[in-house]
Chains A and B, each alone.
Chain A
Amino acid sequence: MVFARVATRRLGAVVVLLLVLSVLTYGLLALAPGGPEQALLGERASTPETRAAIRLQYHLDEPFPVRYWYWLSGALGGDFGNSVYFRQPVLSVIGERLPVTTTLAGFAIVLTLAVGIPAGLAAGLRRGSAIDRGVTFGTLVSLAFPPFGIALILLYTFGVALRWLPIYGSDQVANYVLPAIALALGQAAVVVRQTRAAALDVGGQDYVTFARARGLSRLRVWGSYSLRNAALPVMTVAGLLAAANLTGAVFVEQAFSLPGLGSLLVQAVNQKDIPLVQALVLLGGAVVIAVNLLVDLLYMVIDPRVRHGAAA
Chain B
Amino acid sequence: MRAVLRKGWGPSVAVLALLALITLAGPWLAPYDPGAHDVDLGAVGPSAQHLLGTDNLGRDVLSRLLAGTRTALIGPVLIALGTTLLGTTLGLLAGYRRGWLDAVLMRLTDLMFALPGLLILIVVVGVAGGSYATAVLALIVLGAPADIRVIRSLALSQRELAYVDAARTLGLSGRRIMFRHLLPNLGPTVTANLLLSFVFALIALSGLSFLGIGLPAGTPDWGLMIAENRTILDLNPWAAVAPTLLITITAVAATILGDRVFERLSA
Contacts of A20 in B (CB 8 A): 111
| Interface residue tally for chain B (C-beta within 8 Å) | 44
- Contacts A140-B255, A146-B248, A152-B233 given; indicate if A247 touches B116 (C-beta within 8 A): yes
Shortest beta-carbon distance from B149 to chain A in Å: 14
Are A152 and B119 in touch, CB under 8 angstroms? no
Interface 0/1 of B93-116, CB less than 8 Å to A: 000000000000000000100111
B4/A136 in contact, CB under 8 A? yes
- Smallest CB–CB gap between B117 and chain A, Å? 8
Complex Cα gap A242–B113 (Å)? 12
Contacts of B124 in A (CB 8 A): 28, 31
A95-103, A221-229, A268-276, A299-307 - interface stretch: A268-276
For the complex, is A246 an interface residue (Cβ under 8 Å from B)?
yes
Chain B proximity of A50: nearest CB distance (Å): 22
Rounded to whole angstroms, the CA-CA distance of A223 and B112 in the bound complex is 37
Please tell me if A115 contacts chain B, counting CB pairs below 8 Å.
Answer: no
A250–B233 CB distance below 8 A: no
A182–B127 CA distance with the chains assembled, in angstroms: 27
A-chain residues with CB within 8 Å of residue B19 when the two chains form the complex: none
A309 within 8 A of partner (CB)? no
Q: Restricting to B214-243, which residues have a CB under 8 Å from any CB of A? A: 223, 226-227, 230, 233-234, 237, 240-241, 243
- When the two chains form their complex, are residues A153 and B244 in contact, meaning their CB atoms are under 8 A apart? yes
Residues in A with CB closer than 8 Å to B211 are 250-251, 254, 266, 269
Q: Is the CB of B127 within 8 A of A31?
A: yes
* Known contacts A149-B226, A288-B114, A160 near B237 by CB under 8 Å: yes
A265→B123 contact, CB < 8 A: yes
Q: A144-B199, A284-B116 are in contact. Are A149 and B252 (CB under 8 A)?
A: no
A189 to chain B, nearest CB (A): 11
From A32, A33, A144, A281, give the contact of B120 (CB < 8 A).
A281
Q: When the two chains form the complex, which single residue of A31, A242, A269 contacts B122, counting CB atoms closer than 8 Å?
A: A269
Q: With A and B bound together, what is the CA distance between A272 and B125 in angstroms?
A: 11
Q: CA of A145 to CA of B123 in the docked complex: distance in angstroms?
A: 23
Minimum CB–CB distance for A299 against chain B, Å: 15
Does any Cβ of A come within 8 Å of B210's Cβ? yes
Q: How many whole Å from A136's CB to the nearest CB in chain B?
A: 5
Minimum C-beta distance from A62 to chain B (A)? 22
Residues of A in contact, count (CB < 8 Å): 53
Whether the pair A33, B203 counts as a contact (CB closer than 8 A) is no
Pair A156/B237 contact, Cβ less than 8 Å: yes
Which residues A157-192 have CB closer than 8 A to chain B?
159-161, 167
CB <8 Å contact, B256 and A146: no
Kindly identify, within residues 249 to 278 of chain A, every residue whose CB is under 8 Å from any CB belonging to chain B: 250-251, 254-255, 265-266, 269-270, 272, 274, 277
Min CB distance A161 to B, Å, is: 8
**Given A161-B237, A247-B116, 19 more pairs with CB closer than 8 A:** A17-B111, A17-B114, A24-B120, A32-B128, A33-B128, A143-B255, A146-B210, A146-B223, A149-B244, A149-B247, A152-B240, A155-B230, A156-B237, A247-B118, A251-B210, A265-B123, A277-B123, A281-B119, A285-B115
B contacts, CB < 8 Å to A: 1, 3-4, 111, 114-120, 122-124, 126-129, 199, 203, 206-207, 210-213, 223, 226-227, 230, 233-234, 237, 240-241, 243-245, 247-248, 251-252, 255-256
User: Could you list some 18 contacts between A and B, CB below 8 A?
Assistant: A17-B115, A28-B127, A33-B129, A128-B3, A144-B203, A146-B247, A146-B251, A152-B230, A152-B244, A167-B233, A239-B114, A243-B119, A250-B211, A254-B211, A281-B123, A284-B119, A285-B116, A285-B120
